[in-house]
Amino acid sequence: MKKKLIIAAAIAFAVFAIPCGSSALSTVSVASENNTVVTPSTKPVEEVKNAVDAIDTSKITDAASADNAAVALIKIGSKDLKEAMNAGQDTVNDVAAIEAAYKKAKGIKDTTLANSGAVKAVGIVGAAFVAPDTTLSVEAPAATPEITSSTYAVTSTPVYVEISLKAGTYSVESLPIPVAVTIETPAGVDGNKAVIFHFVNGGLEEIKPIYNASANTLTFTVNHFSTFAIAEANNTATAEGTDNAFGRYRDNVASEIANAKDGATVKISRDKNINALPNDIMQALYKKQTVALELEYTFEGNEYTVTIPAGKAEDNAIEWYGPLYLQMRYGK
């Protein structure tokens, strides 16, 4: 039987508030024969997002101001910007808007997408900052390395692809400003469960892509191109107080909210065994003021349905919103 996610309910109507720290931990696993090194992001994701938001696209009107915008992105740091872009579609969209103004000011054409393998790229953000004439090549790889992940258990046949970026005839090895690539979800892969495995410099980078269910696409951001594998995978790490079902499902709820159409209601059904909401899902609702969330859950033998109406999500530092608080605040 699946263990239900239950935040301690000893205190009636408690909000179960654990103050959120200001820093976020984003990990890149670099695997060797015997160990995995986990490197934390040096800047909180929110700090990076605010730095991106501070770049005013209306002031990018000529080559000089365009270069200044690019420098501002470089100053954020390639790794930190990459982590923020992988954390949410909104940051990808913000960088895309800056890039669009940059291209217009400098007369740069769109990147050419050259697809010749089993995976098809349908979009790219950030390549214009590299050079005025770029081509993204997506093709079958020369080799298919083994996935040796300590974080994920692969549950489907991996789809391998080689992705490279060229500026004219020259291959781009590293990126001072990271690039987001959007691909069609490969046949046979459930986008909700997909993980991108990036083989780089003898190590393995694991990326949970942003899944757009309506378009059936996956978006992921990198600062290096090489061989990738796309596969369904389960996170093998179980956080205290949660179960694997919730851990797997939670990764995509915020993305589903961000990509939902105005007026839509995102639903979390009772069979997901979720009876509390984490801050990141509440924040996703707060940012998408036109989308509602309906949550069905069972707590202490009682069945509840709560709906957070569009525009009514909370914006605070509460880490978890518990079952009794949700019922008191949003219950029918």
The closest alpha carbon to 276, from 7, 72, 20, 50, belongs to: 7
Give the per-residue pLDDT at 297: 84
Q: DSSP assignment, residue 101?
A: H
* Rounded distance between C-alpha atoms, residue 46 and residue 286, angstroms: 14
DSSP line for 55-83: S-GGG--SHHHHHHHHHHHHHH-HHHHHH
Give the per-residue pLDDT at 269: 85
* Tokens read off for 266: 């995102």
The full length of the chain comes to 332
* Rounded distance between C-alpha atoms, residue 217 and residue 211, angstroms: 6
**Per-10-residue mean pLDDT, the chain, length 332:** 33 30 30 34 77 96 97 94 90 96 96 93 96 94 88 90 93 90 95 92 90 94 95 67 54 82 90 80 90 87 88 85 83 71
Could you give the dihedral angle defined by the CA atoms of residues 277, 207, 149 and 187, in that order, rounded to the nearest 10 degrees? 100
Which helix (H) or strand (E) segment holds residue 277: the answer is strand 277-278
Give the per-residue pLDDT at 24: 28
Q: DSSP assignment, residue 301?
A: T
Give the per-residue pLDDT at 248: 58
Report whether 205 contacts 82 (CB < 8 A). no
Give the per-residue pLDDT at 236: 66
Query: Residue 170's CB: how many other CB atoms inside 10 A?
Result: 9
**pTM listed for this prediction:** 0.63
